[in-house]
Chain A
Amino acid sequence: MKWKPKDLLDLDNLTTEEIEHILQTAKPMREILSRPIKKLPTLRGKSVVLLFYESSTRTRTSFESAAKILGADTTNFTVAQSSITKGESLLDTAKTIQAMNVDLVVVRHSSSGAADFLADTLKASVINGGDGQHAHPTQALLDLFTIQERIGDIKGKKVVIVGDIIHSRVARSNAIGLQKMGADVTLVGPPTLLPTEMSYLGIKLSHDLDKELPGADVVMALRLQLERQQSGLFPSIREYSKLYGLSVDRIKKTGKQTIVMHPGPMNRGVEIASDLADSVQSVIEKQVTNGVAIRMALIYLLIGGGTGNVVD
């Protein structure tokens, strides 16, 4: 095969083969994470800039560890401590970074399309670390990897994603990625939080969680942004939790050893009950570890070797 991408912006422009290649490359990376000495010389001398316009703990630290384990140097541009607070535009910040000869920029931004804009502007590779309500491809890839690790082949598996779908870049990227891998995806949420356009992609939409649970191999809860309630999108947090919150009892309705996922950070007791989040069915901590492995794989694939032919 050929590995062509310079950037990782979303999963919709990756082929299934490319997604599989990323997941395959993450396996040896996962092994490295279990070593006592987690340090490789692979990317010595390469520099990675983490440009985060939105707050993030796990994504940023995960990228930072991934780059450092592979031997690259990382620089953080966080909003509070940089010229961004002085009103510098994204383009000017990008040009400044370009002038520093970086190899890879990881960007998170509240505007959808910010990563695409940077990718067009910069010679360096760009990874989208989450842009607005558009995409969060590395989260989707680590979720695919975690599902594969726990239950094997994704093809034909039933995956239910429940929560605030309309505002969620995680749900969007996951739905696309899961569908490319052949999963049967159902998105569940109240009518105000469910985008009807997703049904055009052949994805099933539903408002009734209990009806969708039977037979589900994977159930993924999304973080409910509590401020959405103030804007009138659902009546009360208690009601939301009653209709769409996951708990140990409710998950029994699947009739299977279903795995439970959450991209974090969690609102315990709202979208997921504590007993379930800490149960053996929960792979939430695994998702975090696998996130580092997936990001190592991506960084290696984008800036590790030459581009073009993949040689085994």
Chain B
Amino acid sequence: MEGTPKNKIMDKDGIRRAVSRISHEIVEKNKGTKDLILIGIRTRGVPLAERIREKILEIEDINLPLGLLDITLYRDDLSTIGVQPVVHETKVPFSIEGKTVILIDDVLFTGRTVRAALDALIDLGRPQKIQLAVLVDRGHRELPIRADYVGKNVPTSSKEIISVCLEEIDNNEEVILLEKSKENNSI
């Protein structure tokens, strides 16, 4: 995404602490790890989900099932965005029936990705509960959706972009706020 960097919202340690706190909150809110399943939304929700799994393994000694969800085919803007998003594989090799699903993504913005993810999940079965964990909530919701676990709330203007970089994907670890350079067709 293009833009001029304005300020750093989280550094490596900030991200680590946020993931650690979210992991504790998940275990606390659900009174343990019974029937919990972690599902990361591609792309950056996946490494976050892996980190949460590791953290929960460390604190509770339980290795939770981990799935990955690609929401491309559930987007509501396919016929209007003008570009063609690549479809990736959804990998949820276990039943989600009756489970508590923790849906994990990097940024919560309009809520449309989460809406798509909810539809995608429900096509795989009927979970008992779905909870949402995000690293950054930047506001500007267009749908009635909220997160259960938030790493950091960042008030933003619509001219700004939040860029999350994670080691596993970007070889870099930070969350930065950028000012949009001009009209850009970010998706």
Contact = CB atoms under 8 A, between A and B. Distances in A.
Nearest to B123: A37
Contacts of B86: 24-25, 310-312
Given A37-B123, A40-B123, A308 B73 contact: no
Contacts of B124: 35, 37
B91 A310 contact: no
A305 B81 contact: yes
Given A27-B89, A28-B90, A305-B79, A39 B123 contact: yes
B70 interface: yes
Given A41-B74, A42-B78, A311 B90 contact: no
Contacts of B84: 3, 301, 304-311
A305 B72 CA distance: 10
A308 B84 CA distance: 7
Contacts of B85: 305, 310-312
Considering residues A40, A70, A305, A310, which has the most beta carbons from chain B within 10 angstroms of its beta carbon? A305
Considering residues B79, B80, B187, which has the most beta carbons from chain A within 10 angstroms of its beta carbon? B79
Interface string B88-109: 1111000000000000000000
Interface string B103-146: 00000000000000001000111000000000000000000000
B74 A40 contact: yes
B91 A311 contact: no
Contact of B119 (A28, A35, A41): A41
B36 to A, nearest CB: 22
A42 B76 CA distance: 8
B2 to A, nearest CB: 14
B73 A31 contact: no
Nearest to B125: A36
A300 interface: yes
A57 to B, nearest CB: 27
A44 to B, nearest CB: 10
Given A31-B91, A305-B84, A311 B70 contact: no
A312 B83 CA distance: 10
Contacts of A41: 73-74, 119
Contacts of A37: 123-124
Interface of B: 70, 73-74, 78-91, 119, 123-125, 187
Given A32-B73, A306-B81, 9 more contacts: A29-B87, A31-B91, A297-B87, A305-B81, A305-B83, A306-B82, A308-B84, A310-B83, A311-B86
Interface of A: 3, 24-25, 27-29, 31-32, 35-37, 39-42, 70, 297, 300-301, 304-312
17 contacts: A28-B70, A28-B87, A28-B89, A37-B124, A40-B74, A40-B123, A42-B78, A300-B73, A306-B79, A306-B80, A306-B84, A309-B83, A310-B83, A310-B85, A310-B86, A311-B84, A311-B187
